[in-house]
Amino acid sequence: MENSQKFCGNCDGHNCYDYPTKIFCSTRYAQNKNPIVDTLWCCSDWSQVSQDCYCVQEAKKAKEATTKQR
């Protein structure tokens, strides 16, 4: 796996909500919590995604770009 750090964006339960920065988490939805979370966030229910995607690396790029703008 390309991403060794734990993020919502490389969690097995992740689906895009606003690519690449926001994730829809069906586990949180089932728990009646706000299901929209940051791609670079993480919780204790994290489990490794089975197939890599670009969410984490693109979210990091987006964060860097935002930081530079500021």
- Residues near other proteins (CB under 8 A) are 15-19, 24, 26, 29-32, 35, 51-55
Q: Which is nearer to other proteins, 63 or 68 (CB)?
A: 63
Question: Can you list the alpha helix ranges (DSSP code H) found in 1-69?
Answer: 26-30, 55-69
Integer Cα distance of 39 and 37 in angstroms: 6
Smallest gap from residue 67 Cβ to other proteins (A):
23
Nearer to other proteins (CB atom), residue 65 or residue 68: 65
The strands making up 14-18's β-sheet, listed across from edge to edge, are 14-18, 22-25, 36-38
In whole angstroms, the minimum distance from the beta carbon of 57 to other proteins comes to 10
